[in-house]
Amino acid sequence: MGEILFVTGIGTGVGKSVVTGELARRLREAGRDVITVKLVQTGNVGRSEDLELHRRMMGGVRFPEDDAGLTAPQIFAFPASAELAARLEGRRVDLRRIVRSVNACARRHEIVLVESAGGLFVPLTAKTLAIDLAAKERWPVVLVTNGLLGSVNQTLAAVDALRRRGLAIRRIVYDWAPDVDPVIDADTPRTLVRVLRQWGIDVPVETLGRIDVPAEEPAVRKAEALRRYDRRRIWHPYASLKDPPPVRVAASASGTDVVLADGRRLVDAVSSWWCVAHGHNHPAIAEAIRRQSREMCHVMFGGFTHAPAVELAERLAAAAPRGLDRVFFADSGSIAVEVAVKMALQYQHARGRFRRTKMLALKGGYHGDTACAMALSDPDGMHTLFAGMMPRHFFADKPSVPFGGRWSNGAGDSIREAVRRHRDEIAGIVCEPVMQAANAMNFYHPNYLRLMRELADENDFVLVFDEIAAGFYRTGPRWAAEAAGVRPDVMTVGKALTGGHITLAATLASAKVADTISNGRPGAFMHGPTYMANPLACAAGVASLDLFVRSDYASRVKRIEGELRTGLAPARSLPNVCDVRVLGAVGVIEVRSMPTRADIDRVIDAHGVWLRPFANFIYSMPPLVSDTATVGRIVAAMLDLASAPPGPAPADPDFHE
């Protein structure tokens, strides 16, 4: 455990932030491992200006603890005492959180300088002053003073109060202040030393003199302004707006990297949620979007068609499993799933089977965040909050036989039983073929797909394969279902469809499904998104499919699979690891308990690799253009994180996908 020093002052405005930053700078130059913490920041939104000052004075260094919120655990907008600022926001200062944050920093650093809020007697809560917290935690004190009027009196009163509470005073720092008479400036430190000696107190009084504080860089100021507004007003995925997680400001991206506003580069180990297959800002796709923008950015698809839509439909039909040549364009993966389910229901309606209004899905699955897609996802997964509003479907057990495992005929009994019991109500079967992604990271045996195909054929169900995450070579072959050698009646695609450059998805159907719907009542398929077949997105999709055709992605993924399999194997011996599994360009380390946010951020910054673990899964789905060195960096980061001690178990599942 590192040493904790409480930097406080005789009042507000005496220069605690400058002194803290200067002490940290000197300690770093002396080779000491030092970090600073701002106890409570008021008068700011979204960031701590005092903490940023420390970092500039320390040479621009950043710590994982900064992004984890440990070095500025309490921030309030109103410029007042911590207690009042918190009360005006309907909150209170969380002293336990502050102490936990300080101790977390002390566990990883030799010295922690904790800058107080205001002076010794500033209220933190209705019952606790700053000096009370320091006394309770037994933090030794660095007391900051200056030569302004009354400072000797205030300094000696502070020393007396600290002694009464049994707090050790490591040093008194006399900070230079403008407009102080040189005579007073020279005499005040001597007077303090003389009186303290008369009191029998041997505490060094250090005079710093004038300190040049580096100005904040314009790019940094802009990034922090963005971060402040973002923190106040903008929701992020699966995040609180009251206490949001830290975010990094992305300035640009290219290839496998995201470039931050401060110039750091992070390897995007999750392909920005699995869609950036060809790398960020691929020139061919970006140029296709620019070229199309000069002709037409959008036109409604009701009553119009256009070349990019027709060309993309042709390319998709050629690339899809044989027979899936009827194309419905959607604007996101979730909507593509909604469309697929409506196709299944309209198909059964057209056949006169009006009771068939439910789908059969698999536990452990994930199909999106819109209402119908949530209803088809794992009923015990991340969407349980919305159970009351979602339609009820039928579920078979999560596939238990792993990909490459030994199949037993009984493994499919749950699916067979669900069909036996609900045959007359089931319109179709839906699954993520081979790879259940965002709810389970489960790679399962292809025989499950063969069984579902058999049951669909026997009962005239519509078989839907959701290839949004698994398609386009992510699991090895172009489509995950190829591992089973079966074809669905309906297939959804998205994510890598445009190479992650602009949102677009599609639902592909067989002639049988499309013709049945069209020949029934009302004949029309009842769905129509505003941005359906957006020309810019379709142009991006055409360029992306061209890249898939021109490049040997199957070989690339095979290489990545081998590198992930070999590189992640050592994780199996780690005490916090339950399992390690790899399929195609997907690598997963399942842990018993996720490491702390601070450890996650430490690993990200130390390796320059962006990871987004969720639940109990440390995983990577790297861009398919990742070379061996890039995969090696990703593997090293994953192993480092898996080696970290487990964090406390959350009260609720911490889903991030």
Enzyme catalytic residues: 238, 366, 466, 495
Residues 6+ apart with CB under 8 A from 504: 329, 330, 331, 494, 497, 498, 534, 537, 538, 540, 541
Pairing of strands 169-175, 141-145: parallel
Report the run of H or E that residue 617 belongs to, with start and end.
strand 617-620
Closest to 112 in 3D by CA, of 99, 127, 125:
99
Q: Using an 8 Å Cβ cutoff, are 502 and 536 in contact?
A: yes
- What is d(CA 76, CA 40) in angstroms, rounded to the nearest whole number? 8
Residue type, 117: A
**Structure-token pair, residue 144:** 């900051």
**Structure-token pair, residue 393:** 């479907």
Q: Using an 8 Å Cβ cutoff, are 587 and 620 in contact?
A: yes
Q: Dihedrals φ, ψ of 648, to 5°?
A: -65, 145
- What is d(CA 264, CA 508) in angstroms, rounded to the nearest whole number? 41
Q: Using an 8 Å Cβ cutoff, are 16 and 7 in contact?
A: yes
Q: Using an 8 Å Cβ cutoff, are 77 and 89 in contact?
A: yes
Q: Using an 8 Å Cβ cutoff, are 564 and 474 in contact?
A: no
- What is d(CA 391, CA 370) in angstroms, rounded to the nearest whole number? 12
Angle at the Cα of 48 from the Cα atoms of 45 and 51, rounded to 5 degrees: 175
Taking the mean position of all CA atoms in its chain, how far away is CA 567?
Answer: 24
Residue type, 142: V
User: CB neighbours (10 Å) of residue 168?
Assistant: 13
Taking the mean position of all CA atoms in its chain, how far away is CA 611?
Answer: 8
User: How are the residues of the chain apportioned to helix, strand and coil, as percentages rounded to the nearest 5?
Assistant: 40, 20, 40
Before 522, cis peptide (omega within 30)?
A: yes
Taking the mean position of all CA atoms in its chain, how far away is CA 68?
Answer: 12
Q: Using an 8 Å Cβ cutoff, are 104 and 598 in contact?
A: yes
Closest to 645 in 3D by CA, of 576, 570, 548, 580:
576
Taking the mean position of all CA atoms in its chain, how far away is CA 550?
Answer: 32
What is the SS3 assignment for 423?
Answer: coil
The CA-to-CA distance between both ends of the chain, in Å, stands at 35
- What is d(CA 78, CA 80) in angstroms, rounded to the nearest whole number? 6
CA distances 488 to 321, 367, 450, 477, 554, Å, are 8, 16, 10, 16, 22
